[in-house]
């Protein structure tokens, strides 16, 4: 294998592995997706089972299939990208992020959950390893509640995986591209959570991880970035000179700075892409992607049926909350002057504790159940979506906007000063688009607000992180039912993606103090899994400080 077509499940798994080694030899050794393995392996499983007539043989075969998938997982997790220390700081604990996608619907729109789906989930549960990165699709009204409960059960046992996706919302986010329905239904995750169409699509879904907060800081400083001490952006007005008479005028300044950063990143990506076309074409990958052979074009030259490039916009909740503070306290309630607020921010609120208390306690935040805060977040995501959409990439495809962060919300936080939202200098942003920990004491407020965001603005997906903690007295069935209720409610409301950490802050603190006792403790960062004790202290503290909700 794979010189000849596979005839059995054993041969199919080995064919995938040998091809996988070749693909990694040819391509960048990170974020190459494995795709919908349960769908591709199910026919081999069915044929093998049909040849067995004795129940004992069938049970032994299921055990063998589970063991084989487990061996496949272990071979995948052996693969580690070599990265410099700086990259390890940026992406603490991240492995190769080889995404496997389970469940959802078939290209024909029927229920895709099958025997191999449950075998992959069993292996995920048993091994509880950080890589491969398991993503599970759930299609409301087609996939069963029993399947969703099983996803919650695996998440409870592993404490951090799989990532959960709402098929309907993800497909809605991609409708603007008019993909063929059978290709759209066949989407799978790339890297962390980003959707690409299996075997048809080169999405380059992490072409840029853009610091949205930098645009806000530049708007507050007339294009000057205070940490870099560099006038980098356009002139958009000075707060101290009273150039912003209305909130909309300041919002326009933020958008101008944000758009400037987007335009620069797109120009840079296109230059890199053109260079790669000549320096590093990928004929093996191209032979496996639809239309490349027919066109006689490498994927780097646009040979794939579908082409796009996707960004991760980092800091949505921090930007939204800061804009809400400015809108409410400065322009609507007039409780503080804009220059006074800016001075407090520049001083890290060190000399104005009363104002700090006001901005953190008297303004409705994203995740608090506030309609106005959700509208503000939608306003920001809409701008990002439309600005990226205005560009075409070097392969002739569109740009897409996502709101997830890997671990960059921590490193970018260290490169940021204080914000009007009350975030202090050097502190992390929230992971993905997760609300601030103090936005609400009620998880349902977080769930409702994230679910109400317009998925059409977020066509490179999102990462919504939730830390839930069952009581030590609760039985497993009760905990799973409650986890299921939260996820089902979120999906019914239209939420796109959710990922859970089922671990207490006290456990994480003890693991930080006694790492030798927690070598296998798995945690979800923001789109990928990591072993907690391998993370740098900044990332560990950020996980500990996340909002914790009981079940």
Question: 216 — phi, psi (to 5°)?
Answer: -65, -45
Beta carbons of 501 and 543 less than 8 angstroms apart? yes
User: What would the pLDDT profile of 303-347 be if each residue is shown by its tens digit?
Assistant: 999 999 999 999 999 999 999 999 999 999 999 999 999 999 999
Q: What is the pLDDT of residue 225?
A: 94
| H/E stretch holding 225 | strand 224-225
C-alpha pair distances (Å), 153 with each of 136, 147, 256, 476:
13, 10, 46, 8
Helices 9-26 and 37-50, packing angle to 10 deg: 160
Q: What is the pLDDT of residue 227?
A: 87
Q: What residue spans define the domains of the chain?
A: 1-188+501-551, 194-462
For residue 499, list its beta bridge partners: 465
Helix (H, G, I), strand (E, B) or coil at 27: coil
Beta carbons of 235 and 222 less than 8 angstroms apart? yes
Helix (H, G, I), strand (E, B) or coil at 13: helix
Q: What is the pLDDT of residue 96?
A: 87
Taken in order 364, 370, 375, 378, is the CA torsion positive or negative? positive
Beta carbons of 215 and 254 less than 8 angstroms apart? yes
Whether residue 433 has pLDDT greater than 80: yes
User: What would the pLDDT profile of 188-229 be if each residue is shown by its tens digit?
Assistant: 999 999 999 999 999 999 999 999 999 999 999 999 999 889
Whether residue 81 has pLDDT greater than 90: no
User: What would the pLDDT profile of 445-492 be if each residue is shown by its tens digit?
Assistant: 999 999 999 999 999 999 999 999 988 778 999 999 999 999 999 999
| H/E stretch holding 447 | helix 443-452
Q: What is the arithmetic mean of pLDDT over 290-309?
A: 97
Beta carbons of 433 and 464 less than 8 angstroms apart? yes
Distance (Å, rounded) from C-alpha 304 to C-alpha 288?
Answer: 10
Q: What is the pLDDT of residue 271?
A: 97
Burial class, 144, CB count within 10 angstroms (exposed 0-12 / middle 13-18 / buried 19+): exposed
Helix (H, G, I), strand (E, B) or coil at 176: helix
Residue that wins the pLDDT comparison between 242 and 90 = 242
Whether residue 120 has pLDDT greater than 90: yes
Distance (Å, rounded) from C-alpha 417 to C-alpha 3?
Answer: 57
pTM for the whole thing? 0.96
């Amino acid at each position: 294998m794979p010189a000849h077509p596979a005839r059995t499940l054993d041969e199919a798994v080995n064919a995938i592995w040998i091809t996988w080694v070749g693909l990694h030899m040819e391509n960048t050794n990170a974020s190459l997706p494995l795709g919908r393995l349960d769908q591709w392996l199910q026919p081999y499983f069915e044929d093998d089972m049909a040849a067995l007539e004795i129940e004992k043989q069938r049970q032994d075969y299921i055990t063998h299939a589970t063991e084989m998938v487990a061996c496949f997982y272990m071979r995948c997790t052996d693969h580690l990208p070599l990265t410099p220390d700086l990259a390890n700081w940026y992406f603490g604990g991240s492995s190769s992020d080889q995404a496997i996608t389970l469940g959802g619907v078939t290209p024909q729109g029927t229920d895709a959950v099958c025997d191999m789906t449950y075998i992959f989930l069993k292996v995920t549960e048993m091994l509880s390893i950080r890589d491969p990165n398991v993503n599970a699709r759930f299609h409301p009204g087609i996939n069963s509640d029993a399947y969703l409960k099983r996803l919650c059960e695996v998440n409870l046992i592993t404490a951090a995986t799989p990532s959960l996706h709402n098929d309907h919302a993800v497909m809605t986010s991609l409708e603007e591209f008019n993909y063929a329905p059978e290709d759209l239904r066949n989407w799978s995750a790339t890297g962390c959570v980003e959707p690409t169409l299996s075997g048809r699509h080169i999405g380059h879904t992490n072409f840029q991880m853009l610091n949205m907060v930098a645009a806000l800081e530049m708007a507050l400083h007339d294009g000057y970035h205070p940490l870099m001490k560099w006038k980098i952006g356009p002139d958009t007005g000075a707060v101290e000179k009273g150039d912003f008479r209305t909130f909309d005028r300041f919002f326009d300044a933020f958008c101008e700075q944000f758009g400037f950063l987007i335009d620069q990143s797109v120009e840079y990506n296109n230059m890199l892409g053109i260079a790669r076309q000549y320096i590093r074409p990928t004929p093996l990958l191209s032979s496996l992607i639809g239309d490349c052979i027919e066109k006689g074009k490498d994927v780097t030259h646009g040979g794939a049926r579908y082409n796009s490039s996707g960004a991760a916009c980092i800091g949505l909740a921090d930007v939204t909350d800061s804009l809400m503070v400015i809108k409410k306290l400065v322009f609507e309630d007039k409780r503080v002057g804009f220059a006074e607020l800016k001075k407090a921010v520049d001083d890290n609120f060190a000399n104005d504790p009363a104002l700090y208390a006001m901005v953190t306690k008297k303004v409705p935040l994203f995740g608090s159940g506030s309609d106005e805060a959700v509208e503000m977040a939608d306003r920001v995501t809409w701008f990002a979506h439309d600005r990226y959409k205005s560009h075409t990439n070097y392969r002739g495809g569109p740009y897409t906007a996502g709101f997830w962060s890997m671990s960059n919300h921590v490193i970018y936080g260290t490169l940021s000063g204080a914000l009007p939202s009350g975030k202090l200098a050097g502190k992390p942003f929230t992971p993905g688009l997760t609300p601030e920990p103090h936005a609400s004491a009620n998880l349902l407020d977080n769930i409702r607000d994230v679910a109400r965001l317009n998925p059409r603005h977020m066509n490179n997906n999102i990462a919504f992180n939730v830390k839930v903690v069952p009581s030590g007295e609760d039985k497993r069935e009760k905990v799973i039912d409650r986890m299921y209720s939260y996820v089902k409610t979120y999906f019914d409301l239209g939420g796109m993606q959710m990922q859970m950490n089922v671990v207490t802050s006290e456990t994480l603190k003890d693991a930080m103090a006694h790492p030798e006792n927690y070598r296998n403790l798995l945690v979800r960062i923001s789109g990928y899994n990591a072993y907690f004790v391998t993370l740098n202290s900044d990332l560990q503290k950020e996980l500990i400080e996340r909002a914790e909700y009981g079940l």
